[in-house]
């Protein structure tokens, strides 16, 4: 099956941009745990992060399948799209559920990159995966809401102007269904920093610019509310399919990077006076990872197509994320094994990509929770939690 010309064109354009950011650039950022601002700026200038914003708001109005190709190519080039991917998809909630005024106010700036909306505050230290038990509250006070609570793992908060925040607006014991009573806010962090909003970086095993965020009587205008009060959980659920598909595409890109690296190395590295790749014990794991990646890739495209056709891709998006994150992690492990000792040396970038690839069976949703979703919602088994 041949790819459409416009998709091939996108691949080439992303490859050309990523060529300007070689391994050395990423190694330095990784060593310093520094934000790759130059790379994110270049992606923004090229319009890639505005791929999903409709043309009327200054974006390129691409389909999700095309946007997925952008993320895949970034990873396949050895770059780290985690620094920027959220600018592409967080705005989805604003686009789908924001008022006409909110869209006109924010989307053009997000499309041009003048406004960065790449912080998503959902996870909390005490509730974990059980989002409905979150404790951050927003209480209406005249023309404002007053927010108190804490988020954890709010990635890129220090490099974002706006944050999409999920908070409880009606106590859990006062709602009919536990999925009600949560609301979504678009918080202008430029206004709130130092006035009830505190951000603390968390140092992690890879360079991810993630943070803890504290709200202490943070006052935000009532106009920050997106959609209807109390419906926030439903709004973010619908955006999660797009997020899962894009992250799955990143995993496919990572798997391709590891497979290419391993193949090249196995061809060139000579031990016992022959290339290591001549041994079946070395070539079979690479071939197996290739097959695993290709199967996952089909599911990613299938999920994106269902999404683009306006269907509900819950099943496909979850399976794409599960299969692609497992394929990239298997390829990462295989690549280290193929490189032997050199897999641990910084200069080959394998150890860096290995650390970066580890995240995706845990976040943005862990493998167990995807399996629970499939067991319950697709196979009809009893809910396990
Ligand atoms: C680097 C990084 C960046 C992140 N960025 C963001 C972000 O920008 N915004 C945001 O909101 N969140 C973010 N997250 C949070 C991420 O979404 C969560 O870490 C992830 O969803 C897992 O939740 P948890 O860490 O609370 O694990 P827990 O819920 O504490 O779970 C721990 C383990 O137990 C398993 N488990 C829990 N309950 C069950 C069950 N019922 N059945 C079977 N297994 C179960 C889980 O699968 C997991 O393996 C990020 C996390 C990391 C590490």
Q: Go through the domains of the chain in sequence order and give each one's CATH number.
A: 5-112 (1.10.540.10), 117-231 (2.40.110.10), 234-378 (1.20.140.10)
CA dist 121 → 78, 86, 131 (Å): 28, 12, 11
Distance CA 321, CA 252 (A): 10
Full-model pTM: 0.98
Q: Give residue 368 CA to ligand 1 midpoint distance, Å.
A: 10
pLDDT at 3: 84
For ligand 1, atom 38, name the residue with the nearest CA: 129
Q: Within the chain, which residues score under 70 in pLDDT?
A: 1
Could you tell me which residues come within 8 angstroms of residue 169 by beta carbon, excluding any fewer than 6 positions away?
137, 138, 139, 140, 145, 181, 182, 183, 229, 230, 232
Q: Rounded to 10 degrees, what is the CA torsion of 293, 294, 300, 306?
A: -160
Q: Give residue 365 CA to ligand 1 midpoint distance, Å.
A: 6
The DSSP bridge partners found for residue 213 are 151, 199
Which of 206, 321, 340, 333 is closest to 259 using CA atoms?
333
Q: Give residue 364 CA to ligand 1 midpoint distance, Å.
A: 7
The DSSP bridge partners found for residue 149 are 215
Query: The tokens of 216 are what?
Result: 């202490």
pLDDT in tens, 300-353: 999 999 999 999 999 999 999 999 999 999 999 999 999 999 999 999 999 999
Please identify, by atom number, the ligand 1 atom nearest to the C-alpha of residue 208: 1
Please identify, by atom number, the ligand 1 atom nearest to the C-alpha of residue 367: 47
For ligand 1, atom 2, name the residue with the nearest CA: 153
Q: Give residue 216 CA to ligand 1 midpoint distance, Å.
A: 24
Q: Give residue 119 CA to ligand 1 midpoint distance, Å.
A: 16
Instruction: For ligand 1, pick from 129, 157, 160, 182 the residue to mutate: most ligand atoms within 8 Å of CB.
Output: 129
Q: Give residue 128 CA to ligand 1 midpoint distance, Å.
A: 6
Question: Is 366 in a helix, a strand, or coil?
Answer: coil
If DSSP states are collapsed to H, E and C, what string results for 113-182?
Answer: CCCCEEEEECCCCCCCCCHHHCCCEEEEECCEEEEEEEEECCCCHHHCCEEEEEEECCCHHHCCCCCCCE
Q: Are 30 and 207 in contact (CB under 8 A)?
A: yes
**Residues having CB within 6 Å of any atom of ligand 1:** 120-123, 128-129, 153-155, 204, 208, 210, 359, 362-366, 368-369, 372, 384-385
Could you tell me which residues come within 8 angstroms of residue 368 by beta carbon, excluding any fewer than 6 positions away?
none
Q: Give residue 143 CA to ligand 1 midpoint distance, Å.
A: 34
pLDDT at 348: 98
pLDDT at 1: 60
Q: Give residue 136 CA to ligand 1 midpoint distance, Å.
A: 17
Instruction: For ligand 1, pick from 87, 153, 199, 384 the residue to mutate: most ligand atoms within 8 Å of CB.
Output: 153
DSSP state of 344: G
For 244, the enclosing helix (H) or strand (E) is: helix 232-268
For ligand 1, atom 18, name the residue with the nearest CA: 363
Please identify, by atom number, the ligand 1 atom nearest to the C-alpha of residue 155: 8
Distance CA 212, CA 258 (A): 31
Please identify, by atom number, the ligand 1 atom nearest to the C-alpha of residue 369: 47
Q: Give residue 117 CA to ligand 1 midpoint distance, Å.
A: 22
pLDDT at 2: 75
pLDDT in tens, 110-158: 999 999 999 999 999 999 999 999 999 999 999 999 999 999 999 999 9
């Amino acid at each position: 099956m041949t790819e459409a010309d416009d998709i091939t064109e996108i691949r080439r354009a992303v490859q050309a941009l990523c060529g300007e950011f070689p391994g050395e650039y990423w190694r330095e950022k990784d060593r310093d745990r520094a934000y790759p601002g130059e790379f994110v700026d270049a992606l923004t200038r090229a319009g890639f992060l505005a791929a999903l914003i409709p043309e009327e708001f200054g974006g390129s109005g691409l389909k999700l399948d095309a946007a997925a190709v952008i993320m895949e190519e970034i990873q396949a080039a050895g770059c780290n799209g985690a620094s920027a991917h959220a600018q592409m998809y967080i705005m989805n909630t604003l686009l789908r559920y924001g008022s006409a005024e909110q869209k006109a106010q924010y989307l053009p700036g997000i499309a041009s990159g003048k406004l960065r909306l790449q912080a998503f505050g959902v996870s909390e230290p005490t509730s974990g995966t059980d989002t409905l038990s979150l404790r951050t509250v927003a209480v209406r006070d005249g023309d404002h809401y007053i927010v108190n609570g804490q988020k954890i793992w709010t990635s890129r908060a220090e490099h974002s102007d706006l944050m999409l925040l999920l908070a409880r607006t009606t106590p859990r014991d006062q709602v009919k269904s536990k999925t009600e009573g949560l609301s979504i806010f678009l918080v202008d962090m430029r206004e709130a920093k130092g006035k009830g909003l505190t951000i603390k970086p968390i140092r992690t095993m890879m360079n991810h610019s993630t943070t803890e965020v504290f709200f202490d009587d943070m006052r935000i205008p009532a106009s920050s509310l997106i959609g209807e009060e109390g419906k926030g959980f439903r709004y973010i659920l619908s955006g999660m399919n797009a997020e899962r598909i894009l992250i799955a595409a990143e995993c496919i890109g990572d798997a391709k990077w590891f497979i290419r690296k391993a193949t090249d190395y196995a061809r060139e590295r000579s031990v016992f006076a022959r290339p290591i790749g001549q041994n079946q014990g070395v070539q079979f794991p690479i071939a197996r990872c290739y097959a695993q990646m290709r199967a996952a890739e089909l599911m990613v495209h299938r999920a994106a197509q269902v999404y683009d056709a306006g269907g509900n891709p819950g099943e496909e998006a979850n399976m794409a994320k599960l299969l692609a994150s497992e394929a990239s992690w298997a390829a990462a492990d295989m690549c280290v094994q193929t490189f032997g000792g050199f897999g641990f040396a910084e200069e080959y970038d394998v150890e860096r990509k290995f650390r970066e690839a580890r995240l995706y069976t845990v976040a943005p949703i862990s493998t167990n929770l995807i399996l629970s979703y499939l067991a319950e919602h697709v196979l009809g088994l009893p809910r396990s939690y």
